[in-house]
Chains A and B, each alone.
Chain A
Amino acid sequence: MLNQIFAVTALNLRSLGGRLGSSLVIVIGIAGVVGVLTALLAMSKGFESTLGNTGRDDRAIVLRGGSSAELNSGLSSDNVQAIKDTRGESGTLTSSAEMIVITEFASKARGGSFNVTLRAVEQTGFDIRPEFRIVDGRKFEPGLQEVIVGKDALASFEGVSIGSNMRFRGGDWEVVGVFETGDSHDSELWADLATAQTAFGRTGTSSVLVQLESADGFDAFASALKEDPRVNVDVKRERDYYSGQSGQFKRLIGILAGVVGVIMGLGALFAALNTMYAAVSTRTTEIATLRAIGFGSMAVVVSVVAEAVALALLGGVIGAAVSWLLFNGYTASTLGQGFTQVAFEFQVTPDLMLLGLIMALILGFLGGLLPAIRAARLPVTVALRGA
């Protein structure tokens, strides 16, 4: 029986050339579904990985209790001092009190106004972030109304290049440098904490970022703060804080991908059925002849399904490849949890492409099965007469 299956399948696949036009329908149909789905999921993947890459395990972020995001948080200067005084095993920990202000800039590509994070940091903010480096210009001078801009923000927004002036609350701020951290901070603007506090009329900060002695020091640090009666704060590992922010976007894209995937998948399935019914009906006599000379109906079914699956897989490969060519590394941005734009790159990863191929496989299998069964069940005598 295996011999039969191989023989008929090979025969089918060799004769594909003659049915090129209609076979192409399956290939392109499935390439479309796989391409679109891979691209959508690559978007979600890219966002997740940008946030996942932000932060370290050996740094902790301290927010006001119950605030869940830096934007909602506020720590008074007394609180900040209490947090900064918390000691590790061998003395005071290095920390940076940081204040975030949402600002608005027009997008280079789309105009309008988009929320951008202005992060005001202490000088220690640079020391505890070894990933930080200036790629152009210089750092801001403490005490001056100067701003440095992340490389993704520079690429996305109008009026943020070196030398331009920004207006915040009636005062001018000059852009003096471009920085890179390789994570979601690249979408931000940074300025000096004390200067920004004065300009924005605030005394407290949004968060305190603390350099722990090691990743293991987190629990001791967190419980020390929990027990401190002077403060009511939430403490999170910096990496966990940022990773936790991709959930909502992931769900949104998940829903979109689900709806689009089901609808396009059904469309492609009908197309595949159509093609395979046509393929089977043009070969009615041929199939009946095979059956008459002793090939089993199983061999016929397998050969038809195999043809559909082969075409579908080809489509899946094309779809995944096109999606990779067009979208891998494509930069987009969306609103992060802090209600500001976070730029990220689409990531068309091997596992997403594999997922696409599996989907292609399933669609091809379903699309081939019904026509195959019809072909196998047709009475030989009727089929031979060319009915």
Chain B
Amino acid sequence: MKYFRLVLSQLFAKKTRTILTMLSLLMAFLLFGLLQAVNVAFNRGTSIEGASRIVTQARVSFTSALPLRLLPQIEAVDGIEAVMYQQWFGAYYQEPNRQMVAFAVDPRRLRQVITEWELPSEQWDAFANTRTGMIVGKTLADQYDWKVGDKVPLSSNIWPQSDGNMSWALDVVGIFDSSDPATQPQLAYLNFDYFDEERQFGKGGAGIYVSRLGDPKDAERVSKEIDQMFQNSTDETKSQSEQEFNLNFVRQLGDINLIVSSILGAVFFTILLLTGNTMAQSVRERIPQLAVLKTLGFTDGTVQMLVLAESFVLIGIGALLGMAVATVLGMGMVGFLGGSGSVVNLQVWAYALVSVIVLSLLVGLPPAWRARRLKIVDALAGR
């Protein structure tokens, strides 16, 4: 540590070069932070162990609705505290491209299963008792400036009413928030009874079932039990943890992992070359200085460590700045990818630290070796 100032002053002997190199490093790690965050978010915990909610869908696919009549059987499975069902409404507001997430649900069951939605008790009751009632997540309500008491015509691109009308007039009876800051309530629920009575076709289809477990340890057993119950029937089911179900959507967009690693591979190859060149050049220029250090009694090992430290500090500062910018930008992506704080989380920082160490060694070792082997006489003579 006592040589820290020496390392710094050597590093900044050529200000332009060092600063430009750091800026390149900053950009590389900014990209690293953002892309790794996306990657981590898409690949995070997918094991069913410890899941507190289980989603049961038709085995064919979640777009085929399971019938309502499965409800009592699922409810009877040991370990399940509460069950709800939800039918995708295919909602849009005014324009077909202003799509939104909306489900038809049984209000009382929703309240028992999705416990993180915060809604005043009288609004829960109003939702349960108003046929045309709808409750809206705060984020969504803010977006369209909807208030309790508003009448909102919500269109469906799937479900016509019995008279063929695709627009459903609904009453906003509640606006809910989330007790978990990581989830933004950007969806709406309408009353299943009203929906099922009024829709032109598909009556009796519940959509998918969501069960809340008393003990997350039961997740695997419960989901197996449900699936076995309906095996070989026309309503074969597939149960999985809620996270796995959600992640399946984003995974299908493409091989995120491959795209991210290809881009980062190209970036790091470039950065390796760039920083390697900078370090080699800087050591080449300072050969006489290094020789002087050795003359003063610095050992070969110390001189080698000084050069290595320089490479580490150079890359470390660039990476630190880049990751800091990525973390700030990552706060804006929380709503999209989930998580809390910033999507550039500790795990991403840990990956960055590993990259810094590997890069520093790759970049620093060749010039450090050269500095170590320096013969004082030759170096001072400029040979």
- How many interface contacts (CB-CB < 8 Å) are there between A and B? 147
Mark contacts of A243-281 with chain B using CB atoms, 8 A cut-off: 1 yes-contact digit, 0 otherwise.
Answer: 000000000100000011001101110110110011000
Comparing A9-17, A25-33, A302-310, the segment that makes contact with chain B is A25-33
Q: Tell me if A112 and B60 are in contact (CB < 8 A).
A: no
**Chain B, 57-116, CB within 8 A of any chain A CB:** 59-64, 90, 96
The answer to whether A35 has its CB under 8 Å from any CB of chain B is: yes
Find chain A residues with CB under 8 A from B141 CB. none
Find chain A residues with CB under 8 A from B253 CB. 252, 334-335
**Which residue of B is nearest A277, CB measured?**
B16
User: Given A102-B64, A115-B61, are A260 and B263 also a contact pair (CB < 8 Å)?
Assistant: yes
Find chain A residues with CB under 8 A from B274 CB. 25, 28-29, 271, 274
The answer to whether A204 has its CB under 8 Å from any CB of chain B is: yes
Q: Tell me if A170 and B254 are in contact (CB < 8 A).
A: no
> Which size bracket describes the interface of A in this complex?
35 or more
- For the complex formed, measure the closest distance between the CB of B98 and the CB atoms of chain A, giving whole angstroms: 12
The answer to whether A365 has its CB under 8 Å from any CB of chain B is: no
Q: Tell me if A28 and B273 are in contact (CB < 8 A).
A: yes
Q: Tell me if B155 and A66 are in contact (CB < 8 A).
A: yes
Q: Tell me if B252 and A103 are in contact (CB < 8 A).
A: no
**Chain B, 245-294, CB within 8 A of any chain A CB:** 248, 251-255, 259, 262-263, 266-267, 269-271, 273-274, 277-278, 280-281
Q: Tell me if B157 and A66 are in contact (CB < 8 A).
A: yes
**Chain B, 330-380, CB within 8 A of any chain A CB:** none
User: Given A28-B270, A35-B266, A102-B60, are A266 and B27 also a contact pair (CB < 8 Å)?
Assistant: yes
User: Given A21-B277, A65-B166, are A103 and B263 also a contact pair (CB < 8 Å)?
Assistant: no
User: Given A112-B251, A267-B270, A270-B27, are A169 and B20 also a contact pair (CB < 8 Å)?
Assistant: no
Q: Tell me if B270 and A68 are in contact (CB < 8 A).
A: no
The A contact surface, by secondary structure, is: mixed
Cα–Cα, bound, A113→B235 (Å): 18
The answer to whether A385 has its CB under 8 Å from any CB of chain B is: no
> Which size bracket describes the interface of B in this complex?
35 or more
Q: Tell me if B61 and A104 are in contact (CB < 8 A).
A: yes
Q: Tell me if B236 and A170 are in contact (CB < 8 A).
A: yes
Find chain A residues with CB under 8 A from B61 CB. 101-104, 115
Mark contacts of B196-235 with chain A using CB atoms, 8 A cut-off: 1 yes-contact digit, 0 otherwise.
Answer: 0000010000000000000000000000000000001111
Known: A109-B255, A268-B24. 19 other contacts (CB 8 A): A24-B277, A31-B270, A32-B266, A32-B269, A69-B157, A71-B63, A104-B238, A110-B255, A167-B59, A169-B59, A232-B164, A263-B34, A267-B27, A267-B31, A267-B267, A271-B274, A278-B17, A334-B254, A339-B63
By a beta-carbon cutoff of 8 Å, the part of chain B in contact with chain A is 16-17, 20-21, 23-24, 27-28, 30-31, 34-35, 59-64, 90, 96, 155, 157-158, 160, 164, 166, 201, 232-236, 238, 248, 251-255, 259, 262-263, 266-267, 269-271, 273-274, 277-278, 280-281
